[in-house]
Structure 1
Amino acid sequence: MADKDSHVVSTGTGSSEADASPYTEGVTLARPEGWMYKGFRFPGTKGEIWYASPKAQLLMVSFVCFLCPGLYNALSGLGGGGQVDPHIQANASTATYAVFAVVGFFSGSFANKLGIKITLSLGGIGYSLYSASFLSYNHTKNEGFVTFAGAFLGISAGLLWTAQGAIMMAYPLEKSKGRYISSFWVIFNAGGVIGALIVLVQNLNNNTGTVTDGTYSAFIVLMFIGAVLALFLVNADKVIREDGSKVIIMKEPTWQSEFYGLWECIRLSPWVVLLFPMFFASNIFYTYQQNGVNGAHFNLRARSLNSLLYWLAQILGALVYGAALDFSKVRRSVRAKAALVTLFILTFVIWGGGYAFEKDQPPREVVLQPDYEQYKIDYTDPGYLGPAFLYIFYGFYDACWQTSIYWWMGALSNSGRKTANMAGFYKGIQSAGAAVFWALDGRGVSYRVLYGVTFGLCAFSILVAAPVVWLRIKDTTDLEEDLKFSDETIENVAAPGVLNEKRAALETTV
């Protein structure tokens, strides 16, 4: 039990088979004894926090992502991974997301089997190797090593993001999910901000178009620290929410039952397939934005500044959308619909502005010429401000998109098992989309075509997801549906009658 993410649905009375479920909100139960449950309060804040609380665990996970994928985003945000020739990074990213697509599809199963902290730590290692491959490339021009590191990163990222998604969606109470998601997004994207700032400072006078060895070395060390930090998490069976409840996680799962759970997720919730186009589209815009806009049309120091502003805008977008999604004076079902409509409007406004920029830019064949670097936009140029604001809005849009999807998935279920499976689907399908678009970029597809396909797919996917948001997200999550999922996919977890007793107990307390 101590090394597994394991426990059963129960009443929270303190018995060996009993923990409170997330549906008992408003009923505060006593925390267990032990150092990890001793609360403390930060000066000027309300409420206590303890080591094994969702807040503390989310904070630690956020800093793992700050140091690993956050810094990776800063590197990728430069366009070409900080290299002059973008096809090296495009091929590595294709390998990353192709592997990620396969691993991510089943990574919810791995997270349940291995435990949260091991999954996150293994996930962090690949990021450090990825940065090391670019440092090696600066000296050896070994493109094969960069591609291998990209593929290995696909395995690591699949594990890391699924564990992170399960924590973010399953740990908090229903009323707090939007704030948890936005808080994570703020800290995670601060990694992109700090990373971009490091690159900017170290390359202010660098005219080569390729970042320095010192930049890559700093990223290698910081990413490795992130992988080590994950080992200090506690597993899900030790986490106690603010109301004294635990998380619904499968007890000692077998590989067979876990893979079966993926099928059950679709069989019992077939509507989830309508979210797949949004999952597919959720990372495709990075290809065009990072390589087709930032890398193609700005010099290195302007790219670094753009990347800094992009991730700052991500923080703002997460704060705004997270606060709006948890605005308690409006019913949850109404908030879900409003988020969908707003995202659809933002798609046309921001990407419409993107067309105004793209139509006046030279084609790929021109910007990739070795002598074109001197003609790229610098932040001191008079024409810099407009494109910079467009890039800021691209970052804001990304945060709104990701926050919405996570919040919608969290609103569809409170079951840790079900959300882990949905997170696996999300990251796997997302990565398949990214792999396709990075492959298109590696094959030299025109930037204008990349722009048009990205814009069209984003708008289309929102329309396809609309029935799920409109019809399936209720003002509170359906207890019977989560218990039905647990009943049909978990064998030999609870003694006979435990789940029926659970239902009876909740009917008297909720």
Structure 2
Amino acid sequence: MGFEGDEESAANQVSTKSRFRYNSPLVQITLIGLVCFCCPGMFNALSGMGGGGQVNPTAANNANTALYTTFAIFGVLGGGIYNILGPRLTLAAGCSTYVLYAGSFLYYNHKQHQSFAIVAGAILGIGAGFLWAGEGAIMTSYPPPHRKGTYISLFWSVFNMGGVIGGLIPFILNYNRSEAASVNDGTYIGFMCFMMAGTLLSLAILPPSKVVRDDGTRCTNIKYSKVSTEAVEIGKLFFNWKMLLIAPAAWASNFFYSYQFNNVNGALFNLRTRGLNNVFYWGAQMVGSVGIGYILDFSFQSRRKRGFVGIGIVAALGTAIWAGGLAKQVGYKHNDLPPKLDFKDSGSDFAGPFVLYFSYGLLDAMFQSMVYWVIGALADDSEILSRYVGFYKGSAECRSRSCLASGCTQSSIT
């Protein structure tokens, strides 16, 4: 027994020599960031085009109604499924549905039949529930407790680089098509290639029992759960006072994408400019996540005080940015839109709406990172956190579903 203990101690010492080792939280968080870069990051870029890049957004709207209906259910169930299947199977299953969704719009480009897109949207809702529950458990439980804000901002920056690259794809491929209304086949094929890469990369994620922090401690050594256990534990979330307090933040976290993508970017700018705007929208998310991550980890010695300061900053910025959005919105209506703006031809008229759209991206990342930081502060156990994050994402998508049902259009999985 003594030799076994010495060997385990030596193994731990070797495994913590470098933070860039494969089983370190840094590498694993970077990997899950790259997975989300390839899948939901590209989905966000596609959504940001407005109407899935189509001249007629009806198919995208119907597909996303199906998407958020299933996501609202499987977002809540996703944490339990993650605890049963483990990270690799859960993430790979979720990522594969993104490829199908992008492919359905490639099909729609030629056949103009929306049934495939609607079915693909419903399947993506299931897969997104899997992916985001697994991602949330990894992002909030793998890092050391005193650096969760830093690791969340790392993930958010890598993830949103997908939106930046994804925005460049339609911008470059449609640069010389200033009057084009829908994107070409190459745009969808480019998105599909990234999404397939993300599906393969998800198989490289380690389970929490194999992840070793720099101080030698391991993440939760879980035994895969049972369906009956997870059903009971998920049911308890609806009576957990912590989750009930998180619910308002969940309802505020995703519903605005449909407005920003369609009634701001889609309504005010032409096709190629929408692609450029998305590069900066998702780039702003990288800036926002790094800024709020620093505040939540390093601004004050007391974690409680850091939390209150972070919430206060996000609240103040949110009020100012949405006030600017209201001032812009009163100048046009859905059935009375101004001429489309182009980044090359519209001159100074382009600047104000562009800065507003950039600010929306900045605020989104700060808000989302702050909420994940709060959830991560509630526990360190990946089993518990997977359920918490699943509840948060499911509640958020339930709000998105109600928004779509009441007449909003396309949204985003972030």
Query: What is the TM-score with the length of structure 2 in the denominator?
Result: 0.93
Q: Is 1:198 the counterpart of 2:162 in the alignment?
A: no
Deviation at 1:442, TM superposition (A): 5.3
Counterpart for residue 154 of structure 1: 125
Counterpart for residue 212 of structure 2: 240
1:379 corresponds, among 343, 358, 370, to: 343
Distance 1:354 1:420 in 2: 34
Counterpart for residue 170 of structure 1: 141
Cα distance change, pair 336–442 in 1 and its aligned pair in 2 (3 A): closer
Counterpart for residue 103 of structure 1: 74
Cα distance change, pair 250–260 in 1 and its aligned pair in 2 (3 A): farther
Counterpart for residue 93 of structure 1: 64
After TM superposition, the structure 1 = structure 2 runs for residues 290-301 of structure 1, keeping only pairs within 5 Å, are 290-301=261-272
Q: Deviations over 1:68-111 (max 9, x none)?
A: 00011111111111112223212211111110110111110000
Q: Is 1:364 the counterpart of 2:306 in the alignment?
A: no
Larger Rg: 1
Structure (1/2) with the larger helix percentage:
2
Amino acid at match of 1:210: S
Amino acid at match of 2:212: I
Q: Is 1:305 the counterpart of 2:276 in the alignment?
A: yes
Q: Is 1:432 the counterpart of 2:402 in the alignment?
A: no
CA contact (8 A) 2:146 2:297 kept: yes
For structure 2, list consecutive stretches of 5 or more residues without a partner in the other structure. Answer: none
Q: Is 1:416 the counterpart of 2:387 in the alignment?
A: no
Q: Deviations over 1:216-247 (max 9, x none)?
A: 01111110110011112222221111111122
Cα distance change, pair 271–33 in 1 and its aligned pair in 2 (3 A): closer
Q: Deviations over 1:46-87 (max 9, x none)?
A: xx3211111111111110000000011111111111112223
Amino acid at match of 2:334: R
Distance 1:79 1:208 in 2: 13
Deviation at 1:436, TM superposition (A): 1.7
Distance 2:290 2:256 in 1: 21
Deviation at 1:300, TM superposition (A): 0.3
Counterpart for residue 261 of structure 1: 233
Distance 1:442 1:145 in 2: 21
For structure 1, list consecutive stretches of 5 or more residues without a partner in the other structure. Answer: 1-12, 20-28, 41-47, 445-449, 451-510
Distance 2:157 2:185 in 1: 28
Q: Is 1:220 the counterpart of 2:192 in the alignment?
A: yes
Distance 2:275 2:296 in 1: 32
Q: Deviations over 1:12-48 (max 9, x none)?
A: x987xxx9xxxxxxxxx754489xx4755xxxxxxx3
Counterpart for residue 42 of structure 2: 71
Distance 2:212 2:373 in 1: 21
Cα distance change, pair 181–30 in 1 and its aligned pair in 2 (3 A): farther
Distance 2:22 2:314 in 1: 36
After TM superposition, the structure 1 = structure 2 runs for residues 395-414 of structure 1, keeping only pairs within 5 Å, are 395-414=361-380
SS in 2 for 1:326: helix
Query: What is the TM-score with the length of structure 1 in the denominator?
Result: 0.76
Q: CA RMSD of the aligned region, Å?
A: 2.1
Amino acid at match of 1:365: N
